[in-house]
């Protein structure tokens, strides 16, 4: 059987036969895929999607929900609770963990997810997606508690995302590589089209919301300024900058052609250490990126090593091609040691605090 003829179901069955996953996890992944297929059908209608009568509120993040957020959250809950593999779920759209209804079959797994990452892109007809992660419920878990979900990223059993764009894709890791499946709309089947995705170690492309530059810490300002200076600067290479405003789309691009994505720590909201949620955004994406040969860090520690303190915890995120992530980690280490010097070249006519080091120049060819 050729790779392009391998369905997601066959792929999961083979992983089960090889002892990589158990029957429960296999059933749960199939349920997640089914939910994503249903979501793809809904969001493909764009502003024609029927959301009349869908009640919205301010979610636990302090953000106003969109009807499409609520609708896709319900699809995930209703589809996955029937898998027989779950003990409970956590979603961006719910303040507390979701316990299965009485009488529902219960399993040994926990599902955390963002039902529609980048939902503001729906009305713009731009890419957005669903992010998910699977954890093992504690063996002695009684009544479902938030504490049951507070596991470091390295304890994830599986992680992935669905991308809704010109084509619908499901990108998945079961802890042994990253694989991409494209939805065949004629059959409703995900087919393996991108086996063994690997992130290029070097890159000349980065993604960051440059409008927040004035709030960045000096290590990030230094890095971005060096990229913007291009061949005339210490890196001696021209970089391209991208920003789609949907983490799913940014990470998908990195998996296919390398790059760096940043939502770093900043001073815009001093009480908030980062923008992205650890459990259902940063950790699953970090697992995918590391499984594909890349790296993921806050700038000061690997994302997968963080032990969550609360289910909706936020963290800074820097992930992508390994060499660029490691460079940013070094810059944070230099800054934290108090070794920053005056750097006179301005970024958007502002001053930063680093002296560029020409010895760090590299001759990486750009695409």
Residue 348 lies in a domain: yes
* 3-class state of residue 361 by DSSP: coil
Per residue in 152-192, pLDDT (tens digit) is 999 999 999 999 999 999 999 999 999 999 999 999 999 99
**Domain CATH number, residue 154:** 3.30.540.10
> Are residues 158 and 37 part of one domain?
yes
Residue 321 belongs to some domain of the structure: yes
Residue 287 is assigned to a structural domain of this protein: yes
Least confident of 8-12, 118-122, 164-168, 301-305: 118-122
Per-residue pLDDT, 139? 85
Q: Is residue 365 domain-resident?
A: no
CATH value at residue 348: 3.40.190.80
Binding-site members for Mg(2+) are 92, 114, 116-117, 281
Average pLDDT, the chain: 88
Confidence (pLDDT) at 223: 96
Confidence label for 356 from pLDDT (cuts 50, 70 and 90)? very low
pLDDT tens digit sequence for 16-36 = 999 999 999 999 999 999 999
Contact 330, 309 (CB under 8 A): no
pLDDT tier for residue 137 given thresholds of 50, 70 and 90? very high
* Statement to judge: residues 173 and 221 lie in one domain: no
168, 284: one domain: no
Same domain, yes or no: 168 and 224: no
Give pLDDT, residue 5: 81
Count of the separate structural domains present in the chain:
2
Whether residue 291 has pLDDT greater than 70: yes
Binding-site residues for substrate, in ranges, read 117-120, 209
Pair (66, 135) in one structural domain: yes
Binding-site members are: 92, 114, 116-120, 209, 281
Q: For residues 254 and 289, is the Cβ–Cβ distance under 8 A? A: yes
pLDDT at residue 151 in the model: 97
Query: Alpha-carbon torsion 335, 341, 269, 299, what sign?
Result: negative
Tell me: do 246 and 326 sit in the same domain: yes
Q: Is residue 367 part of a domain?
A: no
Q: Do 182 and 228 belong to one domain?
A: no
The verdict on residue 169 lying in a domain is: yes
Domain end, chosen from 194, 227, 243, is at 194
Instruction: Give the CB-side neighbour count of residue 114, counting CA atoms within 13 A.
Output: 31
Q: Burial letters for 325-344: b for 16+ Cβ neighbours within 10 Å, e otherwise?
A: bebbbebbebbeeeebeebe
Is residue 199 situated within a structural domain? no
Q: Which of 194, 220, 239 is the last residue of a domain?
A: 194
Range from 25-34, 82-91, 211-220, 357-366 carrying the lowest mean pLDDT: 357-366
Q: Of the ranges 65-74, 118-127, 295-304, which is most confident?
A: 295-304
User: Hey, what are 51's tokens?
Assistant: 């959301």
The confidence score (pLDDT) of residue 341 equals 42
Task: Using DSSP, state whether 29 is helix, strand or coil.
Answer: helix
Tell whether 217 and 84 lie within a shared domain.
no
Comparing 119 with 157, the larger pLDDT belongs to 157
pLDDT tens for 243-284 read 998 999 999 999 999 999 999 998 888 888 899 999 999 999
Q: Are residues 114 and 226 in the same domain?
A: no
| Tokens, residue 16 | 């089960």
Say if residue 182 is in the same domain as residue 229.
no
Give the domain-ending residue among 194, 223, 249: 194
Percentage of the chain surpassing pLDDT 90?
74
Instruction: State the Cα–Cα distance between residues 79 and 98, nearest whole angstrom.
Output: 13
Same domain (yes/no): 354, 238? yes
Contact between 237 and 358 under an 8 Å Cβ cutoff? The reply is no
- Return the structure tokens found at 149: 């979900």
pLDDT score at 123? 78
**Is 259 inside a domain boundary?**
yes
Domain of 347? Answer: 205-360
The CA–CA distances, whole Å, from 281 to 128, 240, 318 equal: 13, 25, 12
CA dihedral 102, 107, 113, 116 (to 10 degrees): -60
Q: Do 67 and 105 belong to one domain?
A: yes
- pTM, rounded to two decimals: 0.89
Q: Which has more confidence, 53 or 329?
A: 329
Residue 155 carries which DSSP code? G
Q: Is 343 helix (H, G, I), strand (E, B) or coil?
A: strand
């Amino acid at each position: 059987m050729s790779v392009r003829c391998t369905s997601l179901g066959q792929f999961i069955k083979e992983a089960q036969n090889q002892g990589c996953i158990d029957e429960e996890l296999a059933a749960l992944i199939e349920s997640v895929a089914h939910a994503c297929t249903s979501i793809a059908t809904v969001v493909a209608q764009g502003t024609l999607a029927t959301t009349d009568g869908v009640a919205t509120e301010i979610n636990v993040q302090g953000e106003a929900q969109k009807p499409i957020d609520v609708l896709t959250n319900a699809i995930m809950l209703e589809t996955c609770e029937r898998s027989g593999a779950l003990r409970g779920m956590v979603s961006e759209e719910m303040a507390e963990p979701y316990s299965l209804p009485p009488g529902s079959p219960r399993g040994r797994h926990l599902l955390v997810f963002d039902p529609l990452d980048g939902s503001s892109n729906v009305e713009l007809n731009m890419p957005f997606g669903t992010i998910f992660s699977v954890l093992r419920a504690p063996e002695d878990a009684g009544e479902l508690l938030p504490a049951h979900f507070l596991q470091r990223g390295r304890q994830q059993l599986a992680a992935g995302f669905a991308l809704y764009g010109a084509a619908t894709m499901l990108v998945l890791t079961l802890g042994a590589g990253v694989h991409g499946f494209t939805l065949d709309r004629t059959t409703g089947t995900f087919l393996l089209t991108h086996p063994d995705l690997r992130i290029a170690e070097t890159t000349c492309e980065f993604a960051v919301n440059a409008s927040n530059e004035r709030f960045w810490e000096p290590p990030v300002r230094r890095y971005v300024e060096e990229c913007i200076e291009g061949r005339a600067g210490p890196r001696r290479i021209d970089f391209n900058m991208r920003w789609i405003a949907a983490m799913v789309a940014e990470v998908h691009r990195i998996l296919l052609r390398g790059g760096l994505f940043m939502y770093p720590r900043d001073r815009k909201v001093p009480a908030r250490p980062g923008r992205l949620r650890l459990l259902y955004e940063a950790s699953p994406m970090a697992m995918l990126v590391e499984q594909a040969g890349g790296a993921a860090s806050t700038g000061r520690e690997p994302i997968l090593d963080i032990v969550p303190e609360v289910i909706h915890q936020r963290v800074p995120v820097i992930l992508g091609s390994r060499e660029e992530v490691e460079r940013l980690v070094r810059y944070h280490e230099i800054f934290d040691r108090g070794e920053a010097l005056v750097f006179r070249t301005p970024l958007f006519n502002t001053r930063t605090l680093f002296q560029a080091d020409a010895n760090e120049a590299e001759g990486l060819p750009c695409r």
